[in-house]
């Protein structure tokens, strides 16, 4: 039978135990709150890091493509001035000019030609297409850039047409045309240079070589693909204009957005416009949201592991103190 003294001591031990449990709970609560808030911070940090990386890559690609478009336009304007200076449409003379002007830009420049006011090519580099068909004599009077030159009389800067499948290059390209005038200032001829957009793909792959999880898509103003990780997509110039993810950015400095790509994968993307010469192309750099969330989750697990270890150590120490106190 328990004596009054023993009962009193047991009561003290119970009180110590309850106090210990209460103190442990009080100590654990801030740790749990800290762990929750830290998890939120890790999630935000993972997204911010992914956004910065995607924006940097998108800007680098947009800058490189924009530079090439600008360089091609200036080359066409310079060649048109040379045609004016020569004052002749003699094919033998102009052929040498076209060949010399294009040479430094191969393979970026898929073709370069000089045409008369009717839109008929009189000098062409390369002289033959990949099927062996002569390029001189090709009629380009149905092209948008030619019609614009006729409408304006060739006034103003070089005209950059829409991205389309090249008639001679047989690849996605963009044409840039500049007018040449006779001594009276009348539209007399024009120069045209096509950028082979398939040559940009290796440069893009090199830029993202250290970040294999990133995907890059570049579209024209109309939403047609000419750079894409799927070769079939750019070979057929797939139209992505119906996807909300691939809409043009509202901010000229670019923006971050979340959405679903054409494969149905939830992604987080950086979107940067290419605005040189008013072309209004778009660069999209993105990665799966699941991957970003997984990176944040890994950091959260480390945080909870450290907190759990610290709390466990504290509880064990407190238990030892209680055990020694209960024996005294």
Q: How far apart are alpha carbons 97 and 3 in whole angstroms? A: 117
Residue 23 has pLDDT above 60, yes or no: no
DSSP for 212-278 reads: TT-EEEEE-TT-BEEE-SSHHHHHTT-B-TTSGGGSPPSSTT-EEEEEE-TTS-EEEEEEEEE-GGG
pLDDT tens digit string along 157-196? 999 988 987 765 567 889 999 999 998 999 999 999 998 8
Tokens 């409408």 belong to 151
The tally of CA atoms less than 13 A away on the side-chain side of residue 292 is 22
3-state secondary structure of 153: coil
Pick the CATH number of 47-299 from 3.30.450.20, 3.90.180.10, 3.30.420.40, 3.60.21.10: 3.30.450.20
Tokens 């830290």 belong to 38
pLDDT band of 326, cuts 50, 70, 90: low
pLDDT band of 27, cuts 50, 70, 90: low
Q: Measuring CA to CA, how many Å separate 290 from each of 243, 255, 268, 297?
A: 20, 20, 9, 10
pLDDT band of 7, cuts 50, 70, 90: low
Q: How far apart are alpha carbons 285 and 272 in whole angstroms? A: 9
Residue 312 has pLDDT above 90, yes or no: no
pLDDT tens digit string along 214-245? 999 999 999 999 999 898 898 889 999 999 99
Per-residue confidence (pLDDT) for residue 56, from 0 to 100: 93
pLDDT band of 325, cuts 50, 70, 90: low
Per-residue confidence (pLDDT) for residue 30, from 0 to 100: 60
The secondary structure element, H or E, covering residue 190 is: strand 187-196
Percentage helix, strand, coil for the chain under 3-state DSSP, each rounded to 5? 50, 25, 25
Mean pLDDT score of the chain: 82
pLDDT tens digit string along 140-157? 999 889 999 999 999 989
Q: What are phi and psi of 155, to 5 degrees?
A: -80, 155
Per-residue confidence (pLDDT) for residue 59, from 0 to 100: 94
Residue closest to 300 by CA, chosen among 30, 41, 28, 48: 41
pLDDT tens digit string along 48-91? 788 899 999 999 999 999 999 999 999 999 999 999 999 999 99
Indicate the domain borders of the chain.
Answer: 47-299
């Amino acid at each position: 039978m328990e004596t009054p003294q023993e009962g009193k001591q047991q009561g003290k031990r119970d009180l110590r135990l309850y106090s210990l449990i209460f103190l442990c709970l009080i100590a654990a609560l801030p740790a749990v709150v800290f762990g929750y808030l830290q998890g939120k911070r890790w999630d935000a940090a993972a997204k911010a890091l992914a956004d910065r990386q995607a924006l940097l890559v998108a800007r680098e690609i947009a800058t490189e493509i924009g530079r090439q478009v600008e360089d091609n336009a200036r080359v066409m304007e310079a060649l048109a001035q040379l045609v004016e200076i020569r004052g002749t449409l003699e094919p033998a003379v102009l052929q040498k000019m076209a060949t010399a002007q294009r040479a430094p830009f191969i393979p970026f420049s898929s073709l370069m030609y000089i045409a008369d006011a009717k839109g008929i090519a009189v000098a062409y580099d390369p002289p033959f297409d990949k099927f062996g068909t002569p390029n001189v004599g090709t009629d380009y009077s149905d092209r948008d850039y030619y019609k614009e030159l006729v409408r304006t009389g060739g006034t103003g800067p070089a005209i950059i047409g829409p991205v389309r499948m090249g008639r001679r290059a047989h690849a996605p390209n963009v044409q840039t045309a500049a007018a040449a005038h006779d001594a009276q200032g009348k539209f007399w001829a024009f120069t045209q240079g096509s950028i082979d957009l398939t040559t940009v793909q290796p440069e893009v792959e090199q830029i993202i070589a250290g970040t294999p999880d990133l995907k890059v898509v570049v579209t024209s103003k109309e939403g047609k693909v000419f750079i894409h990780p799927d070769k079939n997509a750019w070979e057929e110039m797939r139209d992505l204009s119906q996807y909300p993810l691939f809409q043009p950015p509202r901010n000229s400095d670019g923006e971050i957005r979340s959405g679903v790509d054409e494969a149905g994968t939830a992604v987080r993307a950086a979107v940067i416009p290419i605005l040189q010469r008013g072309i209004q192309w778009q660069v999209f750099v993105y990665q799966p949201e699941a991957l970003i969330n997984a990176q944040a989750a890994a950091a959260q697990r480390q945080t909870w592991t450290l907190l759990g270890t610290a709390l466990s150590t504290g509880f064990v120490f407190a238990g030892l103190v209680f055990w020694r106190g209960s024996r005294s």
